[in-house]
Amino acid sequence: MKTRDSVGVECLRWLTVGFFLWAWLPFAGAADRVVIGNVSRTVEQLPNYAATDKGFFAQEGIQGDVVLIGSTDTLIQALIAGHVQVAIVDPSAAINAVERGASLKIIGGTVPIAAYTLVSCPKYKAIKDLKGTTIGVVSLVSGSTIFLREMLKAEGLELNRDYSIIQNGPTTQRLASLKACNTSATMILGGDLPRSRELGFPEIARLHDYIPNLQFHSLIVDGRWAENNNQLTVRYLKAMVRALQWAHANRQAAAELVTQRTGIPIKYTRATVDDYLSQGIISRDGSINRDGFQRLIDLMGERLFKSRPYPAPEKYLDMSYLRRAHQELGISAGR
């Protein structure tokens, strides 16, 4: 038979246990933190904005923290070092890193078509006028720089023989350099065209007219991190796919969200977002444009690989997580 004192001790013990259980419960269900690296705030980052602001990350138990790293090269280095878990950027720097031994994998994509335009300081009116000048780029090895070289090569201009390039940061910095004509031209994305036009920069060439089909923004991870966090990786992709679907179903709200996040006036984001969604520049389901990815590998091939045949996209892709995300969401893939 228990004494009053023993009952009191037992009650106290259970109250103590109960308190610690109560105190611990909120943390037991705490969201998993995923640090996501971007280069800059652009229209192309719409899916990431939607996943955060419309609650898709939260619904998948994820705290998605975005950091801005103004260089593609530095972003990929941060990914390799484990400072970020996902990099949303064109895959060219990741391909370079894999060829140097990194364990990176592309697990999906948000922008399957690269929509670049070459704009210039007002005194230059055509690509041929850029001979003998210095062109500003976001990164020496980024996709946009590879595309730039191909466009100028098609017009007879070769890097280092006819022009030079300089890394001078994200779009705002490159446009500022153009305004002073410190550089002659730069590649910008469709979402930045309205601002460029207001500043009076001529649009002297479109990437689409030279290379019409190239995979752009991709979801890049360290393959070992994804393997060790496979359920989290699938949940992350589910949130991103849901964000993509939301954007396609809510164009006006998507444009307003881009304006809130980038500061670009709604009169510009409305038209750009509508064009991007209508033309498939923003994906519906996170799939990779495999033909566009192979085209990128081929463009990089002469400088990166010793001989043909160049690698197939599957060397760099791991679509198993996206397939699981699609399965759990009950959707069929199809860009």
Which residue is listed with tokens 């950091």? 67
Looking at residue 212, what is its pLDDT? 85
The average pLDDT across 284-293 equals 96
Write phi, then psi, for 189 (nearest 5 degrees).
Answer: -85, 165
Please give the Cα distance from 333 to 323 (Å, whole number): 8
Per-residue three-class SS string for the chain: CCCHHHHHHHHHHHHHHHHHHHHHHHHHCCCEEEEEEECCCCHHHHHHHHHHHCCHHHHCCEEEEEEECCCHHHHHHHHHHCCCCEEEECCHHHHHHHHCCCCEEEEEECCCCCCEEEEECCCCCCHHHHCCCEEEECCCCCHHHHHHHHHHHHCCCCECCCEEEEECCCHHHHHHHHHCCCCCEEEEEHHHHHHHHHCCCCEEEEHHHCCCCCCCCEEEEEHHHHHHCHHHHHHHHHHHHHHHHHHHHCHHHHHHHHHHHHCCCHHHHHHHHHHHHHCCCCCCCCCCCHHHHHHHHHHHHHHHCCCCCCCCHHHCECCHHHHHHHHHHCCCCCC
Kindly indicate the confidence band of residue 48, based on its pLDDT and cuts at 50, 70 and 90.
very high
Cβ(221)–Cβ(108) below 8 Å: no
CA–chain centroid gap for 159, Å, is 27
pLDDT at 21 over 90: no
Q: Is 139 buried (19+), middle (13-18) or exposed (0-12) by CB count in 10 A?
A: buried
Kindly state the average pLDDT of the residues 63-75.
91
Q: What are phi and psi of 243, to 5 degrees?
A: -65, -40
Residues near 278 by Cβ (< 8 Å), separated by ≥ 6? none
Beta bridge partners of residue 221, listed in sequence order: 105
The reported pLDDT for the residue numbered 29 is: 55
Arithmetic mean of pLDDT, 119-132: 96
* Contacts of 34 by beta carbon, 8 Å cutoff, 6+ apart: 57, 62, 63, 64, 65, 85, 86, 232, 236
Cα angle for residues 259, 39, 234 (degrees, 5° grid): 90
Q: Which tokens go with 199? A: 């500043």
Q: How far is CA 185 from the centre of its chain?
A: 23
What is the rounded average pLDDT for all residues in the chain? 89
For the chain, state the CA radius of gyration.
24
Residue 160 pLDDT more than 50? yes
* Helices 266-278 and 230-249, axial angle in degrees (round to 10): 110
The pLDDT of 301-308, averaged and rounded, is 85
- pLDDT tens for 168-193 read 888 889 999 999 999 999 999 988 89
